[in-house]
Structure 1
Amino acid sequence: MTRKNSRFRFTALLALACATLLAGCAGSKTPTVYYSLYAPTLHGAEASMTDGDISVSVGPVIIPDILKQTRIATGGADGSYDLTEYHRWSGDVDRDLARALAEHLAQALGTQRVSVFPWDQDFTPTYQVLVDVLFMGGEPGGEAILSARWNIINKAGKEGSSTRRIDLREVSAGPDVAQWVAAQQLNVEKLGEAIAQTISEIRK
């Protein structure tokens, strides 16, 4: 075999190996999974009050800068976070959290007159809920942690405002990010219930 043919054969085999490797990589590509902070069927608390006249707006919701992206941030206990590549939020975290809280408040307060800030001109809320997320993190396989402060403003100005804080911890059912998200969804539901309780106390 001539040197020229031998070199040609080597080049062809190298090209075939590269093509096979690329095909294998393409076939094993990890799919990206998207999540929301709202889970409609968790343990479903009964309405603490039923008042068709009450209307609530949620937001603005303020979140840490590390959460202002689609990649899910876990960790944070020591000030450092891990950003997942193939597990992402389905939208803006602040808007998603506001919508989740609005749905939980609708159930807990027994009203469908809920909205997310900024609300439509035709919507006049009885109460506006401002939420400041102080921390959202934790480890898959460990705990999902959510700390938040909220301020409830009476838009009629009769009862003033009320500010509260809560620190929530929910154990993840397993080591997967999906299980950590499920635990965080429970934290969001509990936050909604706590806000609903505050509104109930203000109205008494």
Structure 2
Amino acid sequence: MKPMRFSPPLLLLFAALTLHGCALLPSAQFYQLEQGQAALPEGDKGPALLLGPLKLADYLQREQLVQREADDSLTLSQRTRWAGSLQDDIGQLLLRQLAGQLDTSRIALYPDRIGFDSQVQVVLNISRLDSGALQPAVLEAQWRLLDAAGVQRGSRVLRLQTAHGGSVADQVHAQSVLLRQLADELALAIKAMPVAERAPARKSAPAAPAKPPARSQRLPVLEPNPQLDVFRF
């Protein structure tokens, strides 16, 4: 059987149809969370804060935006995607909000804690953050506050919800609002938490002056008595 061959006009027609079909495919749209107008720290009077570990539910660790349907099922769209890591985006949003509300620039995002001595640590687990065209935006999370010694000083499980206009842009805006509300609650809890002041660096005691080496006392050398001659009679 001879292989099928196409004439140049047919090849050009096939290429044109392929390009036309690709042009009809909708292009992907990328979204980011809205950081909001977070105030910058001025007096830097707040505590040294470590944010994290921050854990997201497995179904949120993907590029596509998750859509929740009326029957509570989840769908993924290839057209709507996050412009980067959703977990990093959430971390940066909370970081900026907390820095402004607590008036502190001494803040770090876990695991970037090299050389960072924290007074307060926020451990956060987000088990749900989604919405749908006909479903409200919902945030479910659990947070814990730890002091400098690692002792738990506060904890809460929460559920936040807000309506939106239905479009994907409105849904992203609504989810951003819920995360900022979470930052508001965390800031209030941290302000009410007794924070131990960082102990000042201990000054090393001045070194004691070196004692002069003790003079060795020379013991007198006892010379053996000369042996006496013994005369016997």
TM-score, normalization: structure 1?
Answer: 0.79
Deviations 1:62-111 (A, max 9, x none): 11111111111121775521112122122332232122111111121122
Out of 158, 163, 174, the position equivalent to 1:171 is 163
Aligned-pair identity in percent equals 25
How far residue 14 of structure 1 moved from its aligned partner, in angstroms, is: 5.3
The question of 1:128 aligning with 2:124 is answered: no
Q: Is this contact kept in 1: 2:122–2:145, CA < 8 A?
A: yes
More helix by share: 1
| 1:6-155 alignment runs, 5 A limit | 15-41=11-37, 52-75=45-68, 78=71, 80-155=73-148
Q: Which runs of 5+ in 1 are unaligned?
A: 1-7
The question of 1:199 aligning with 2:195 is answered: no
How far residue 37 of structure 1 moved from its aligned partner, in angstroms, is: 2.8
Q: How many residues align?
A: 191
Question: How far apart are the structure 2 equivalents of 1:115 and 1:179?
Answer: 30
More strand by share: 1
Q: Is this contact kept in 2: 1:57–1:102, CA < 8 A?
A: no
Matching residue of 2:200:
none
Bigger radius of gyration among the two: 2
Q: Is this contact kept in 1: 2:44–2:105, CA < 8 A?
A: no
| Aligned-residue CA RMSD (Å) | 2.9
Relative distance call for 1:45 and 1:120 in structure 2 (3 A) is closer
Q: Which runs of 5+ in 2 are unaligned?
A: 196-233
Task: Give SS of 1:203's match.
Answer: coil
